């Protein structure tokens, strides 16, 4: 037990980045594995406690081989603690990392209940993962840099800084939250208007300006038509006021009606043109 107190003192009182290397952690895991094979329950328990104390402050990314060792022994440890769910997650993680998908029989003998937790097929098939959106190379899982966390099994997660030094290391089961990590920057995209969603202010102004153009064109056209009608009305009025010998009363009344109609039409179109122009201004100012 004395060596556990020494390890604990180093963990509490020293710089976290100088705590242990991947090789040193591997040596402790080898000791734990041998203790388990030798039926040394206390030795296995002490070595696994050392592992738990050193893992959070390991100074470098673990190798896949060390992560594999840890998964094997964590599965054995959780099985002994009667936590079958976490034991299964750990041995499945070891099975995933095993080159041939085979667990050592010296550690997990044939017929052991842990072996029944391992899938009968699917080794090497892509597994379920979750993309984290992390900066490239800043998050590691089971000894490899990856932005995708396994979601159905245990994993050894590590976050590193810009220089590659490990900031934190955790053994995570699928239900455990991911520790903080640096996110990759998200590229800004042009605003897109969705149905029912308000447009950005600059897009609204541009839309109003585009709407103003045809309205102003209609107003200008109305003024031109109004001027033509008014000119025709003046011509009809002059003709009405100039008497021609021999004109009948019906012809005179027709000339008067024509002048009045053209005048009224000119006024109506002019008023409409003014209203259209005012509308265009309101569209822009609104």
Express each pLDDT in 222-236 by its tens digit: 544 445 444 554 554
Q: How many CB atoms lie within 10 A of CB 179?
A: 14
Average pLDDT over residues 159-186: 93
Q: Is the pLDDT of residue 210 over 60?
A: no
- Give the confidence band of 120 by pLDDT, cuts at 50, 70, 90: confident
What is the distance of C-alpha 59 from the center of its chain?
31
Q: Encode burial over 33-44: b for 16+ CB neighbours within 10 A, e otherwise.
A: bebbeeeeeeeb
What's the rounded Cα separation, in Å, for the pair 90 and 113? 14
Q: How far is the C-alpha of 71 from the C-alpha of 110, rounded, in Å?
A: 18
Q: 163: Cβ–Cβ under 8 A, 6 or more apart, which residues?
A: none
Q: How far apart are CA 193 and CA 186, in angstroms?
A: 20
Q: Compute the average pLDDT of residues 132-144.
A: 94
Q: Which residues pair with 141 in a beta bridge?
A: 144, 157
Q: What is the DSSP string of 72-85?
A: HHHHHHHHHTT-HH
Please name the residues in contact with 167: beta carbons below 8 A apart, sequence gap of 6 or more: 159, 160, 161
pLDDT-derived band at 131 (thresholds 50, 70, 90) equals very high
Distance CA 40, CA 45 (A): 9
For residues 59 and 17, the answer to whether their CB atoms sit within 8 Å is yes
> Mean per-residue pLDDT for 131-148?
94
Neighbours of 25 (CB within 10 A): 25
* pLDDT score recorded for residue 78: 97
pLDDT at 191 over 90: no
Q: Contact 136/184 with Cβ under 8 angstroms?
A: yes
Domain boundaries, the chain: 2-126, 201-285
Tokens matching residue 246: 């021999």
Residues forming beta bridges with residue 149, ordered by sequence position: 130
Which residues does 112 contact at the CB level (< 8 Å), separation at least 6? none
Q: 11 and 54 in contact (C-beta within 8 Å)?
A: yes
Q: Which two tokens stand for residue 110?
A: 């044939």
Beta bridge partners of 5: none
- Percent of the chain at pLDDT exceeding 90: 48
pLDDT band per the 50, 70, 90 thresholds, residue 53: very high
């Amino acid at each position: 037990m004395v060596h556990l107190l020494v390890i604990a003192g180093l963990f509490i009182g020293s710089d976290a980045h100088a705590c242990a290397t991947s090789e040193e952690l591997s040596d402790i895991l080898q000791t734990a594995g041998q203790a388990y094979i030798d039926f040394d329950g206390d030795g296995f328990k002490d070595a696994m406690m050392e592992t738990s104390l050193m893992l959070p402050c390991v100074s470098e990314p673990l190798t896949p081989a060390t992560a594999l060792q840890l998964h094997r022994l964590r599965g054995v440890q959780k099985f002994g603690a009667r936590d079958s769910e976490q034991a299964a997650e750990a041995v499945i993680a070891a099975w995933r990392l095993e080159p041939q998908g085979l667990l050592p029989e010296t550690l997990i003998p044939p017929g052991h209940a842990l072996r029944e937790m391992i899938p009968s097929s699917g080794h090497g098939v892509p597994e379920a993962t979750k993309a984290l959106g992390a900066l490239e190379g800043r998050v590691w899982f089971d000894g490899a840099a990856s932005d995708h966390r396994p979601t159905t099994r245990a994993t050894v997660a590590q976050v590193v800084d810009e220089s590659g030094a490990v900031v934190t290391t955790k053994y995570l089961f699928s239900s455990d939250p991911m520790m903080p990590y640096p996110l990759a920057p998200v590229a800004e995209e042009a605003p897109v208007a969705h149905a029912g969603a308000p447009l950005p202010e600059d897009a609204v102004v541009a839309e109003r300006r585009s709407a103003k153009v045809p309205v102003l064109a209609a107003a200008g056209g109305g003024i031109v038509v109004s001027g033509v009608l008014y000119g025709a009305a003046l011509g009809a009025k002059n003709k009405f006021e100039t008497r021609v010998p021999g004109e009948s009363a019906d012809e005179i009344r027709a000339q008067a009606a024509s002048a009045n109609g053209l005048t009224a039409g000119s006024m109506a179109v002019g008023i409409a043109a003014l209203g259209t122009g005012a509308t265009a201004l309101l569209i822009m100012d609104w």
